[in-house]
Structure 1
Amino acid sequence: MKASDLFVRALEAEGVEYVFAIPGEENLDLLESLRGSKIKLVITRHEQAAGFMAATYGRLTGNSGVSLSTLGPGATNLVTAAAYAQLGAMPMVMVTGQKPIKTSKQGQFQIIDVVDMMQPLTKFTKTIVSGDSVPALVREAFRQAEEERPGATHLELPEDIAQERSTMPVLEPSYTRRPIAEEKAIHRAAQAITAARRPLLLIGAGANRKLTSNMLREFVDKLGIPTVTTQMGKGVIDETGPHFVGNTALSDHDFVHRAIDQADLIINVGHDVVEKPPFFMRPGGAEVVHINFNAAQVDPVYFPQIEVVGDIANSLWQLKERLEPQGHWNFDDVQRIRDALQKHIHDGAVDDSFPIRPQHLVKEVRDVMPEDGILALDNGMYKIWFARNYAARSPNSVLLDNALATMGAGLPSAMAAKLVYPERKVMAICGDGGFMMNSQELETAVRLKLDLVILLLRDDGYGMIKWKQKQMEFGDFGLDFGNPDFVAYTESYGAHGHRVGATAELKPLIDKCCKQGGVHLIDVPVDYSDNDRILNREIRELSGRL
């Protein structure tokens, strides 16, 4: 068969459901092959959005999302999405076209070395130079994208290679099982946990995939050990449960950091070096048990004394079977810290002034969204407030990016989440800065007939950097901008636009939009003026008393 047909057959063998794409003329053979496939082609309005959607698909399913672009500018537009998937450990396979490599007639027109460009951003990148090599290279791209640690891979399919004939068979995915931790490591970790007086469980990004959530919940329920999560570990355990302390939304001085400081043993599950370190190890400080798929990457602030390397869920099961709650464990201080944090969150949430304060906004969203509802956060000041104050109930129900931390991913990520889980409520939460970086995807969402709510938080500036600027006493310089009429802008795409004029209008409007169906954007003026006072001075003062 033609190599492009073989390529699509290989995608089908990998279980691919969607290809998110902006094709070019170098992809036309592949496009024709996709036309006869059950794989759905989703055309986006920017390659970056196609990549964000593919990466989010991978994040939610554990199976590689696929994005497709042409050569040159199409491929360069995938670079940010490649870094997003690679740093965020989201399995994604990118496919780019290329001019004929055997008989070129156009010189260097649009040609850059895409494979070389993708090298530092991917786990694997290759030009396909023969139709016969298609099955093996597709299989390898998917294997590497999905094995621990997941990430981005890339294949370049030149126009003339796509037209070649091949008799090679498709390679089916192999059956694999992840290795389990050595018994001696489990025994040593169990001894350390038993002997500790104030153990603390810390859940990171690596635990928010591969179905570790159920075992983590059993581990916590049986032992009652207080639990803290990183931003990308959010939702692995139910954050309304009695053992959840809080999320490391801030870099330092928040209540949860007091809980971490007082622990004499930290059970660090799914640690990922891409996240800001939630604690710093010091000689003579708390002992650390590292539980992960891979060995620890040691640096000056992270050098665990005990490493349990293997499938996380199996390691937790083995530990759970060996351990019992200990009478000498003392969680009184952590409980006091947890209570103080919950009071601080509650006190801020009752402020119903307008423009709306972020603490109250988070409460209103939590009240409306169902337990399994999915939030897809873009990057901005609000991300800290949602990470800290929003009680997630299930894994990957709060999709935020604390790895590349790129703006512009919120709307495409929400769209992908809705495709994966059409029965669940999905909301994109975007600042006005990040939203405008991929706002054209409103058309894609309308065309796909998605039921989607976009909460647009408008402060007419780059609020996160303003907050940082204020901390450095720069004053307020260079970060304000103008905005379109977001209601009219949204309606020009055939979606529904709404504007909040009072805080009391927000909750009923969100509820109405969620129930009505279709694509809805809600323009919400937000007031970040108290960020510095609350997140820096007030929290530092209150937590310092504990």
Structure 2
Amino acid sequence: MTDTRTTPKKASDLFVECLESEGVEYVFGVPGEENLDLLESLSDSSIKLVLTRHEQGAGFMAATYGRHTGKTGVFMATLGPGATNMVTAVAYSQLGGMPTLAITGQKPIKHSKQGRFQILDVVDMMQPITKFAHQLHSGDNIPSRVREAFRLAEEEKPGATHLELPEDIAAEESTARPIPASVARRPSAEPKAVRQAVEAIEAAKSPVLVIAAGANRRMTSNMLNEFVEKTGIPFVTTQMGKGVLDERHPLFLGCAALSSGDFCHRAIEDADLVINVGHDVIEKPPFFMTDAFEGDARGKTSKVIHISNNTAEVDPVYFPQIEVIGDIANAIWQIKEAVTPQDAWDFKRLLCYRDAEIKHSDPLESDDRFPIFPPHLVRQIRQTMPDDGIICLDNGVYKIWFARNYTAHLPNTVLLDNALATMGAGLPSAMMSAMLYPERRVMAICGDGGFMMNSQEMETAVRLGLNLTVLILRDDAYGMIRWKQANMGFDDYGLTFGNPDFVKYAESYGAHGHRITSSEHLADVLAKTGEAKGVHLIDCPVDYSENDRILNHDIKKLSAKL
């Protein structure tokens, strides 16, 4: 009998065997000739290849897989232009804390006869935007390098890793075998730090909880819910912390979607203790540690407790006084078990800010003008989406409206990017969500600018047989930058463009196209597409004319009066 443990196999087969050992389900990508050995090995594996129309789309899908599952999403490309096309998606997963492995091909490194044709130092290019980047020099080293890439991708803070597999290394033989993952547990927070946090919470008069991106992990949601129910401490979320707790909760104070001056920002400023859970300075800060935190005109000072897997990165506006470092869910559990709710706590003023925000938002959300008014659009989408429905936002000014006004009911049901904040990710993210959760309703919400950056993935969505709604908010401009331009007092210049007929564009891919003509029509189309199979694109004109007045002026004036 042949001993398979010592039988040589092609290195690309070994590479795929290592991926299978890590539990990889999909590899997304656009292969090139330098990947053909790997492609052949994948064809005989349990892993499904998802061929996309651009490497960026493959990377966004892999990152979204990582975000939903906590497991590493894998995507591949060839050398040179294929690798450079990956870069935005690699940075997206690195900054956003989504575990991924990017695999690139390369010309033979031992006996190449093509000079410098298409040659870039891809590993050197990837190193600043990954946790780990490595060129494989030997088939025998594949198991250890693959295991290391997966370990680092999933270790807190999760992020991007990269492996380059040259043609000649992929074709050589090896007797090596996959290395199984070890059983590892994240360390628990130090009891003395927990005690300090508990004492600070009990001594406070009006503490507030801020839930950020790092809290968006399994188990953390349950622990935070128990903490809020026991203590009655109200909470704010950052954009990437949306949905960790159900935002219909009476203690929800809002999402810190604007930079400052919103109602929830005023609540944080009035609190004398901020319990900041999972904060990452990669996000726009939900509060600034100046003024009230250093002592305001009334002599009031505030403190910040930093609860996270990692120590706080010192920043000009963020320098917490107490740090509780370790597994976040465990840290919250320890604090929850030890803390005693205090009769002296008073949250009336904090809660009044949320009441004022709702009072301000209600008439805006009821405005059914056409083209569609953004707050009204958000209300319509929320009304049509089930509790577990998933919306995947591209980047644009509408992201602010959805972050502020769309109440998330469950974790990872509002996928937006407040780290790299790239355009073009909405459609691929929704495609991945629809693949993972075919029984749930999924909607990509894109501006016309962001949609056109990866619109070719409509073909991929149709080919995969996905059930998906793609809502395009059309203003024929780069709306967010136009909003900023207006706020800075500059002339309206250089930010408008033309668009294709989106209905015909969708139909050309084999999808279904719909063009909105009124608010009532939007409600009808949303209801019908929610029940229908297949890929549906909705061309929805939007009215952004009041963005500057409402977001930059009205909200700040109203909140300052409270």
SS in structure 2 opposite 1:77? helix
Query: Which residue identity lines up with residue 222 of structure 1 in the other structure?
Result: K
1:61 paired residue number: 69
Q: In the aligned structure 2, how far is the partner of 1:363 from the partner of 1:417?
A: 22
Given the alignment of the two structures, is residue 481 of structure 1 paired with residue 497 of structure 2, yes or no? Answer: yes
Counterpart CA distance in 1 for 2:217 and 2:57 is 23
Corresponding residue SS for 2:453? coil
User: What are structure 2's unaligned runs of at least 5 residues?
Assistant: 1-8, 296-300
Residue 390 in structure 1 maps to residue 398 in structure 2: no
In structure 2, the residue matched to 1:298 is 314
Shift in Å, 1:300: 2.0
Residue 231 of structure 1, CA deviation: 0.3
Which amino acid letter does the alignment assign opposite residue 83 of structure 1? A
Residue-by-residue CA offset, 1:50-91 (whole Å, 9 max, x unaligned): 001001110111000000000010000000001101110110
The residue aligned with 1:45 is 53
**Partner SS for 2:17:** helix
Deviation at 1:276, TM superposition (A): 0.8
Does residue 1:428 correspond to 2:436, yes or no? no
What root-mean-square deviation, in Å, do the aligned CA atoms of Structure 1 and Structure 2 show? 0.7
| Amino acid aligned to 1:149 | K
Q: Which moved more, 1:287-296 or 1:203-212?
A: 203-212
CA distance in 2, matches of 1:296, 1:376: 29
Query: Whole-Å Cα distance in 2 between the matches of residues 198 and 409 of structure 1?
Result: 39
State the secondary structure of the residue aligned to 2:225.
Answer: helix
Alignment match of 2:459 (pick from 427, 430, 443): 443
The reply to whether residue 27 of structure 1 matches residue 35 of structure 2 is yes
Which residue of 2 is the match for residue 156 of structure 1? 164
Structure 1, unmatched stretches of 5+, are none
| 1:137 partnered with 2:153 | no
2:182 counterpart (163, 169, 174): 174
CA distance in 1, matches of 2:94, 2:86: 12
Does residue 503 of structure 1 match 2:519?
Answer: yes
Deviation at 1:324, TM superposition (A): 2.6
Provide TM-score, normalisation by structure 2. Answer: 0.96
Q: String of CA shifts for 1:196-241, please: whole Å, max 9, x gaps.
A: 0010000111001243111111111111101000000111000001
Identity of aligned residues (%): 67
In the other structure, the counterpart of 1:241 is 249
Q: Distance in 2 between matches of 1:325 and 1:253?
A: 30
Aligned-pair CA distance for 1:388: 0.1
Hey, what does 2:3 align to over in structure 1? none
SS, match of residue 103 in structure 2? strand
Q: Does 1:411 align with 2:427?
A: yes
- Secondary structure in structure 2 of the residue aligned to 1:442: helix
Trace 1:39-118 onto structure 2 (pairs within 5 A). Answer: 39-118=47-126
State the 1:475 CA deviation.
Answer: 2.0
The one-letter amino acid paired with 2:555 is I
Larger displacement relative to structure 2 (498-507 or 360-369): 498-507
Q: Does 1:333 align with 2:349?
A: yes
In the alignment, the residues of structure 2 paired with residue 369 and residue 332 of structure 1 have an alpha-carbon distance, to the nearest angstrom, of: 32
Residue type at the aligned position of 1:262: D
Q: Distance in 2 between matches of 1:86 and 1:24?
A: 24
Residue 541 of structure 1 and its aligned partner are, at CA, apart by: 1.4
Q: What displacement does 1:342 show?
A: 1.3
Residue in structure 2 matched with residue 251 of structure 1 by the alignment? 259
Deviation at 1:358, TM superposition (A): 0.2
Q: Tell me, in whole angstroms, the C-alpha distance in 2 between the residues paired with 1:326 and 1:157.
A: 59
> Structure 1, residues 80-126: CA drift from partner, whole Å, max 9, x if none?
00110111011000000001001001111111100001011100000
Mapped to 1, the partners of 2:555 and 2:315 lie a distance apart of 29
Matched, 1:191 2:199: yes
Q: Aligned to 2:443, what secondary structure does the other structure show? A: strand
Deviation at 1:464, TM superposition (A): 0.3
- Find the aligned partners of 1:139 and 1:68 in 2 and give their Cα distance: 17
Alignment correspondent of 1:371: 387
Determine the C-alpha separation between the residues in 1 that align with 2:76 and 2:121.
Answer: 17
Alignment partner of 1:83: what SS?
helix
- Give the Cα–Cα distance (whole angstroms) in 2 for the partners of residues 356 and 168 of structure 1: 60
Aligned counterpart in structure 2 of residue 316 of structure 1, from 309, 323, 332: 332
* Deviation readout 1:124-172 (Å, 9 max, x if unpaired): 0000000000000000000001100111000000000001111111101
Q: CA deviation at 1:35?
A: 0.7
In 1, the alpha carbon distance for the partners of 2:557 and 2:178 equals 63
How many angstroms apart in 2 are the aligned matches of 1:303 and 1:407?
31
- Which AA in structure 2 matches 1:63? K
The separation in 2 between residues aligned to 1:500 and 1:324, in whole angstroms, is 54
Q: 2:216 aligns with which of 201, 204, 208?
A: 208
Question: Alignment length, in residue pairs?
Answer: 546
Of 490, 493, 511, the residue aligned with 2:509 is 493
Matching residue within 20, 26, 32 for 1:18 = 26
Q: CA deviation at 1:535?
A: 0.8
**Which residue is 1:534 aligned to?**
550
